[in-house]
Structure 1
Amino acid sequence: MTGPTYLQFHLAFLLPAMSLLVATTFAGWRATAVRPLRGRDYWSGVAVITVAALVYTTPWDNYLIARGVWSYAPGSTLATLGHAPVEEYLFIVVQPWLTALWLSHLSLPAWPAGVGTRRPRLVGLALAAVIGVGGWAALGTPATFYLGAILVWAAPVLALQWAVGAPQLWARRRLVALGVLVPAAYLCVADRVAIEYGIWVLSAQYTTGRTLAGLPVEEALFFLVTNCFVVQGLVLYRWVRDRYANETATGIDTR
């Protein structure tokens, strides 16, 4: 292996971004606008989501590597646990913190009243079902296998999040969109560079061959849904904490 390694990818893209976000997060702690997404409760939520991400992603990730959906250049990784290199597990852990650090720079206005309706939740569940069924259908064709695997894997998480808090997420859609799209775009650029340098290689057999600015569409979709998991999870965690605190203080159900 003469090119960059997976560890060097972490050092070049993830470590500097994390360091910058940490520095600006704590430097601007007192200057942030109303109700920042920070504090002990916020970071405990980040820890919970990180553990959930590792548990939920590990078997899926290992299966796809074993299937040959993607592979790593010889000598580009330090060691392997199961079928995945240790740097892959590190990435699964780091990504939620990277996204959470970005989200902590944003402010959460007070929750609007009258958003606790069933209709958005039912719409969210229906959309998640369509995603899951579409993904299941895509698994049947080699060229769309990776695309289908992402959709099938994403559908249960999206269904749970939308069933619990679709009205609240929709009411905070600008916050969610900004929280998702910025880190997703950054990780897409980093992934594009890693693929260009051959740190990992996607199988032509299991991908559509379609790209966005040279990045396989499957990778762009992966970063979109994983950042949705993190941002929606953290916003809903804050909503649950705020609702519990309000109900404890007033004795009124705020749903």
Structure 2
Amino acid sequence: MPWHAHLDLQYRRDPSGQTLLRHRHGGPLRVFKSLYPEGPAVCHNVIVHPPGGLVQGDRLEIDVTVAAGAHALVSTPGATRFYRNASGEPAEQRVRLALEQGARLEWLPLETLAYDGCRALNRVELAIAPGAELLAWDVVSLGLPAAGLPFASGCLEQHWDWPGVWLERARLDALDERLLRSPVGLDGQSALATLVLACGTPLTRTRREALLEACRELIEAHELAPRCGATCPNDQMLVVRALAGQVEPLMQLWQALWALLRREAWGMADQPPRIWSV
């Protein structure tokens, strides 16, 4: 029988300036206790899915709401795994991120693993009020190339939607050789990643160009530079993308870019989630 799970995280800022979490869950989704490694203003949390993966018909729904002035950082202790699914309904993960005026959210899950034979849908939906800013990433590995288990069959659909600002859909079908192998597609790389800074208020030209220049300078010094680029598709978003043969160098680069954007966009020191060191 498929497992359906829902987790609702609601962050608010109290009169003292501390960000507090109120949460509800149904099914096998949990959140670890709140941590404050950089003081009371920023609440760090880790989402846990005890089964460890999704199979045919499973559905995970995660809602994160950050109230005005609050700041939350959310990560995971391990990869999201979409396992083999020979037939029937696809497995689905749906994430909704809603930021009220002046809120900040860092959505930093570890990678998504699309196993050979999976049928999966991975959706992220955004609602960002004026003055709010989201720093988020999505990292995907097709198959397990290091273990000699390529993505030879199956399909993963990726969907990002910020109504009126950004809409992106991708269908990664293992049988689509043109997409997976072509130099204008994934060029035979099995790992791909997107990092975004999404702003409810348009970036000024000066701020946009300064952030792009900083990102590009960091990228140029990294081994993935030939398959990585940063751009602003509109005046409310900065987007960085990269391809790689394996996830590890992508995560290394993404963590460095996260630290850079935290410093350059928000004037904050990098404070990696403790779970990244475990």
Q: Would the TM-score normalized by the shorter structure come out above 0.5?
A: no
Higher percent of residues as helix: 1
> Under a length normalisation based on structure 2, what TM-score does the superposition of the two structures give?
0.25
Instruction: Name which one, 1 or 2, has greater alpha-carbon Rg.
Output: 1
Higher percent of residues as strand: 2
> Under a length normalisation based on structure 1, what TM-score does the superposition of the two structures give?
0.26
